[in-house]
Structure 1
């Protein structure tokens, strides 16, 4: 952190929500791929918390272990009441310092982390495991349930209301035709994100302008090659997380065209079966009319013709029909967006998520001055 990837946004949003709940937070992170003057401003978080950057010699298992030992020395020096994290190496060295909460967004598939995870899940050291979907909880129980202690909490990703994202981003100037309706996609451009589908839709609907916000320089270079060119599709590239919220109000309809197989940034791990896309919740928080892929895992949050329109992820004609219907039916467009917005406000803010993952854990709060037990959200 910082980086262009969603996991760094997730970490900063969670730390912000922990701080908002009254806790004193220290984030231990590997160095980012670039530098920013003020990480809190770059990510648009409302609360300031301590960020400790911990380097490692390299990005090998041995290097990860070196960084983890450095984290342990810092934790021993300033022992927390709870250690919450994704990094298995750092969590393992935290054993004996404080209770551990392990959050995971996928099943592990490489030998080193599989071994560490196996040992962690079979030791009596975890306060709980946090997963992002019921599908992932089911998979963990299927793989480990007969042998491991699995106190699992399901907590989907979240979003902040538009006025709670921190910072005041100016209105972006979008290229394209001033009288054309705007269709938006926000997120990464790598395999499984449905960028081919978005470009197909742009060809099918030439009277509309399609705007794609996000993507690494490498992925952007791939999709802007002449062979992918579509005149009414505009790629905006990566934007600081604090400024992304300013794009959503500019779009008449937004797209979540996730495919059945979605891969991590390096293309190594397939995560589509368990995904809880952060950008989907941001679309909803901004009250945008959403067309999304009809995938079982997304139906844990989305409901066709209630808070979105769902379409098969490979049926471009069906997606074109859904976009056309929404643009022609303003009451439907408004109703879907408003129901989605209310759902996030009542169930899926980052603060809701923090209350869920800390429910029934004794964690001192600086605002309360003593240990508090937070009830489970409804």
Structure 2
């Protein structure tokens, strides 16, 4: 099947949406589809395939917007329309970009993927897409978001919604990443966090834990230079190490070095610049990467995370506002190697069964009645 993937963000970039999009295009290609990604150009000069560590060199078309306004994005959508019509209409349009999708929706059946309720679109714009006759499917990342999306459009009761959480790749399917040399004490337990340092990600909780557990070393991988400085400069704890942003392709080298990994999300989670609050709907990609590496996870006990995690089955879940409960969980896991192994093994088993990018790619297009819509092989 020929798929045109429409992305409203930039490639390459620091943002998680770029990782998601590149991994999905890689998985679609692995499944035998012909995918062309249409993206905004990024500011970085790295080779995007190497930067993200994808296996396939699917075509990427970098289509700029004249400016970052609704009119600018609509103009970009028209430019993408010209590219698609010049190529001949694809079999399927797969879009996370409502502006480009609005300009191209009549060209082919389309799947619209949303990760939050969009409050930034012109009035009626999303409703028009959701009521469009060529809408084939709406993909959301959590059941909470599915409920809220249906509630936002009660006059569209037949929305074809599929819930597909974020995902990860099995580490063994990629070239081995270099193993970094971590600072810190050689005999201290290593507690890891991988992800952005935005408000609501629980960075303040991690620093609190570091003060309460001086015998443990805490490693935070990720974050822009600005966000890193905001947390690192005032940090008084010598057992905390900020590693900053790393290319997605380099991250698999870090996970095996951690004894325990943290997902300390708060009830309210903000995106870059506090532009949006997404805590009710979040599906953290790093959570699935933790699972893929069989790490023992301590995570916040939130309804949206319980869609994937279960206490003492594939993780330990603790109240996001109770640091002492997290201290007790970390102390228990560090002291009990068998429990760490049990939780990590079950997390990896569930990941392989449910949460690989390939399984997700197969799921979101399965049964659409389009050419080769199930891919060329079984889910992986």
**Structure 1 length-normalised TM:** 0.94
- 2:262 is matched with 255
Which aligned segments of 4 or more residues in structure 1 are displaced greater than 2 angstroms?
Answer: 145-149, 362-365, 371-377
Aligned pair partner of 2:215 in 197, 203, 207 = 207
Preserved CA contact (<8 Å) 1:359 1:375: no
The 10-residue stretch of structure 1 (143-152 or 173-182) with the greater mean CA deviation from structure 2: 143-152
SS across alignment from 1:128: strand
Aligned residues of 1:362 and 1:373 also touching (Cα < 8 A):
no
Task: Summarize deviations over 1:63-94 as a string: whole Å, max 9, x none.
Answer: 11111111111111112110001100111111
Structure 1 residue 13 and structure 2 residue 23: aligned? yes
Paired residue total: 368
Aligned twin of 2:39: 29
- Aligned-partner SS, 1:28: strand
Q: Which residue of 2 aligns with 1:154?
A: 163
Aligned pair 1:302/2:309, yes or no?
yes
Distance in 1 (CA, whole Å) between partners of 2:176 and 2:296 is 23
Q: Identify if the C-alpha distance between structure 1 residues 168 and 373 changes in structure 2 by more than 3 Å, giving closer, same or farther.
A: closer
8 Å Cα contact 1:83-1:100 kept in structure 2 = yes
Contact 2:33 / 2:375 at 8 angstroms: preserved in 1?
no
Structure 2 residue matching 1:95: 3-state secondary structure: helix
Cα distance in 2, alignment partners of residues 202 and 362 from structure 1? 53
Is 1:46 the counterpart of 2:55? The answer is: yes
For 1:111 and 1:82, the matched residues in 2 are separated by 23
Structure 1 position 375, deviation (Å): 11
Greater alpha carbon shift after TM alignment, 181-190 vs 227-236: 227-236
Say what the alpha-carbon RMSD is for the aligned residues. 1.6
Note the C-alpha offset of 1:264.
1.1
Give the Cα–Cα distance (whole angstroms) in 2 for the partners of residues 242 and 376 of structure 1: 25
Is the Cα contact below 8 Å between 1:26 and 1:49 reproduced in 2? yes
User: Counterpart of 1:231?
Assistant: 238
- Aligned twin of 1:121: 130
Return 99-108 or 215-224, whichever deviates more: 215-224
- What's the secondary structure of 2:13's corresponding residue? coil
Following the alignment from structure 1 to structure 2, what is the Cα–Cα distance between the partners of residues 147 and 253? 44
* d(CA) in 2 for partners of 1:185, 1:94: 40
The residue number in structure 2 matching 1:177 is 185
Cα distance change of structure 1 residues 232 and 170 upon mapping to structure 2, 3 Å threshold: same
Quote the offset at 1:374 in angstroms.
8.7
The reply to whether residue 197 of structure 1 matches residue 197 of structure 2 is no
TM-score by length of 2: 0.94
Q: Deviations over 1:223-250 (max 9, x none)?
A: 122x223210000000000000110000
Worse-matched range after superposition: 173-182 or 283-292: 173-182
CA distance in 2, matches of 1:86, 1:167: 28
Pairing 1:284–2:291 present: yes
Does structure 1 residue 360 correspond to structure 2 residue 367? yes
280-289 vs 72-81, greater mean Cα deviation: 72-81
**1: CA distance, partners of 2:339 / 2:59:** 45
CA distance, structure 2, for counterparts of residue 85 and residue 44 of structure 1: 22
**Cα distance change, pair 372–228 in 1 and its aligned pair in 2 (3 A):** closer
Equivalent residues of 1:80, 1:98 under 8 A apart: yes
Distance between the aligned counterparts of 1:354 and 1:234, measured in 2? 36
Q: Which residue does 1:136 correspond to in 2?
A: 145
Answer yes or no: is 1:269 the counterpart of 2:243: no
Indicate the residue corresponding to 1:103 in structure 2: 113
For 1:310-335, what per-residue CA distance to the aligned partner results, in whole angstroms no more than 9, with x for missing partners? 00001111001100000111111100
C-alpha displacement at 1:143, in angstroms?
Answer: 1.3
